[in-house]
């Protein structure tokens, strides 16, 4: 009787605690993700932000889209999915301008993947404003409107903010995912693209729990 009593106590009290501990240790800082030394402000403080750092010229980013896009479409209402185009050098600035132009013109869903495909599937030379304008026009955007937004004063500000965020995120390559301005997740740490999203979900829950306490 004593033997079975001890076993029941173990199952009721000790085992759930051990399972919770195992869950909390599933992914570890410094192993599966990095903790940023300084938190970066998010776009919406009321939500948990997931920010994908990408580059249109990056083949890995193109492949990641097939995984991250459907995942982002299923995120809960308290999670805010954002993207930041990486600008490592001046040659990458046109792509950042194209991304923010697409957002401003509300045609991101129409041109985001086609820009990737033009570069990585069709192997076109897409380097200049004119090259990017041709893609926008092909998907129904007025060229004059594209040119106006692409070269606007506000566009320069958005690109500079993106550069600042990438520096703050301490991004080492693309694609990478930043969770709530605090944690950096890469395929090098997480092991794969799906691994990155698994770690991101773990960190989302970590932030959700912190907000509720």
Report yes or no on 156 lying in a domain: yes
Report yes or no on 132 lying in a domain: yes
Mind listing the pLDDT tens digit for each residue in 159-193? 999 999 999 999 999 999 999 999 999 999 999 99
Report yes or no on 153 lying in a domain: yes
Report yes or no on 12 lying in a domain: no
pLDDT at 213: 78
Crossing angle of helices 129-138/93-104, nearest 10°? Answer: 30
Count of domains observed in the chain: 1
Backbone angles phi, psi at 85, to 5 degrees: -75, 130
pLDDT at 24: 57
Give the structural domain span for 132: 33-212
Residues 6+ apart with CB under 8 A from 126: 56, 115, 118, 119, 132, 135
Report yes or no on 50 lying in a domain: yes
Report yes or no on 169 lying in a domain: yes
Question: What CATH number does residue 142 fall under?
Answer: 3.40.30.10
Joined together, the tokens standing for residue 93 give 């600035």
Residues 6+ apart with CB under 8 A from 75: 50, 81
Report yes or no on 7 lying in a domain: no
Report yes or no on 19 lying in a domain: no
pLDDT at 211: 86
Mind listing the pLDDT tens digit for each residue in 116-152? 999 999 999 999 999 999 999 999 999 999 999 999 9
Mind listing the pLDDT tens digit for each residue in 52-81? 999 999 999 999 999 999 999 999 999 999
Mean pLDDT, to the nearest integer, of 4-14?
Answer: 44
Task: For 71-205, list the strands marked E by DSSP.
Answer: 79-85, 176-179, 183-186
Q: Three-class SS of residue 175?
A: coil
Q: Distance (Å, rounded) from C-alpha 123 to C-alpha 79? A: 35
Q: Does residue 25 or residue 187 have the better pLDDT? A: 187
Q: Does residue 176 or residue 25 have the better pLDDT? A: 176
Mean pLDDT of the chain: 91
């Amino acid at each position: 009787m004593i033997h079975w009593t001890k076993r029941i106590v173990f199952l009721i009290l000790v085992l759930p605690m051990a399972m919770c501990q195992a869950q909390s240790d599933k992914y570890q800082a410094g192993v599966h993700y990095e903790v940023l030394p300084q938190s970066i402000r998010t776009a919406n403080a009321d939500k948990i932000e997931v920010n994908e750092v990408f580059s249109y010229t990056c083949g890995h980013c193109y492949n990641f889209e097939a995984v991250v896009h459907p995942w982002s479409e299923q995120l809960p209402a308290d999670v805010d999915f954002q993207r930041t185009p990486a600008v490592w050098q001046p040659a990458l600035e046109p792509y950042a301008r194209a991304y923010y132009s697409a957002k401003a013109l509300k045609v991101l869903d129409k041109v985001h993947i086609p820009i990737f495909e033009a570069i990585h599937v069709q192997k076109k030379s897409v380097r200049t404003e004119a090259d990017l304008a041709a893609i926008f026009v092909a998907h129904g955007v007025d060229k004059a409107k594209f040119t106006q937004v692409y070269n606007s004063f506000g566009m320069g500000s958005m690109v500079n903010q993106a550069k600042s965020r990438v520096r703050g995120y301490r991004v080492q390559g693309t694609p990478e995912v930043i969770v709530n301005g605090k944690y950096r997740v890469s395929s090098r740490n997480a092991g794969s693209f799906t691994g990155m999203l698994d770690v991101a979900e773990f960190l989302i829950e970590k932030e959700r729990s912190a907000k509720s306490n």
